[in-house]
Homo-oligomer: A and B are copies of this chain.
Amino acid sequence: MKFMDLLCELISAARGEIEVDLLIQGADIANTISGEIHKADIAIHKGRVVGFDCCSAQEILDLDGSLIVPSFIDGHVHVESSMVTIPEYARAIVPRGTTTVIIDPHEIANVMGLNGIMYMLKSSMYVPLNVFLMLSSCVPATNFETSGAVLDTTAMKKIIGHKQVLGLAEMMNYPGVINRDHVLLEKIKLAGTKRIDGHCPHLTGKDLAAYIVPGIKSDHESTSLSEAAEKLRKGMYIMVREGSTAKNLKDLLPLINPVNSRQFLFVSDDRNAADILNEGHIDFMVRTAILEGLDPILAFQIASLNAAQYFGLNDLGAIAPGFRADLVALDNLVDLHILKVIKDGRLVADGGRFLAKLKMVPRPTRSKMRIANIDLISFEINAVSSKARVIGLVKDQLTTKSLVCDVQPKDGKVESDINRDILKMAVVERHYATGNIGLGLVHGFGLRVGSIASSVAHDSHNIVVIGTTSKEMLAAVLAMKEMNGGLVVIRDGKAVARLKLPIAGILSDMPLNFVADSIGICIEAAHDLGCSLEDPFMALSFLCLPVIPELKLTDKGLVDVASFDFVPLFVRDQEIGATS
Contacts and interface: CB of A to CB of B under 8 A. Distances in A.
Interface of A: 3-4, 7-8, 10-12, 14-16, 31, 33-36, 38, 40, 48, 50-53, 55, 177-178, 180, 182, 185-186, 188-189, 193, 205-210, 212-215, 217, 229, 232-235, 257-260, 262-263, 295, 297-298, 301, 309, 312, 314-315, 318, 320-323
A344 to B, nearest CB: 15
A293 to B, nearest CB: 15
Given A209-B53, A233-B52, A259-B297, A11 B177 contact: yes
B320 A233 contact: yes
Contacts of A53: 205-206, 209
- 7 closest A-B pairs by CB: A235-B320, A35-B259, A258-B258, A51-B209, A14-B210, A35-B260, A209-B321
A232 B33 contact: yes
A257 B213 contact: no
Contacts of A40: 233
Stoichiometry, as copies per complex, reads: 2
A92 to B, nearest CB: 30
A297 to B, nearest CB: 6
Given A212-B322, A314-B193, A321-B235, A263 B10 contact: no
Contacts of A16: 206
Contacts of A48: 213
Contacts of A262: 262
A89 to B, nearest CB: 27
Contacts of A315: 215
A322 B206 contact: no
Contact of A15 (B3, B51, B52, B178): B178
Contacts of A235: 33, 318, 320-323
A459 to B, nearest CB: 25
Nearest to A10: B213
Nearest to A214: B7
Contacts of A180: 7-8, 11-12
Nearest to A315: B215
Contacts of A182: 4
Given A177-B11, A235-B323, A312-B193, A298 B210 contact: no
B320 A215 contact: no
5 contacts: A11-B213, A34-B229, A51-B210, A52-B234, A53-B206
B321 A213 contact: yes
Contacts of A312: 193, 312
Contact of A33 (B4, B33, B215, B260): B260
Contact of A34 (B15, B38, B232, B298): B232
Contacts of A210: 11-12, 14-15, 50-51, 321
Contacts of A51: 206, 209-210, 213, 234
A333 to B, nearest CB: 15
A217 B314 contact: yes
A146 B138 CA distance: 59
B234 A320 contact: yes
Most chain B CB within 10 A, of A36, A189, A259, A320, is at A259
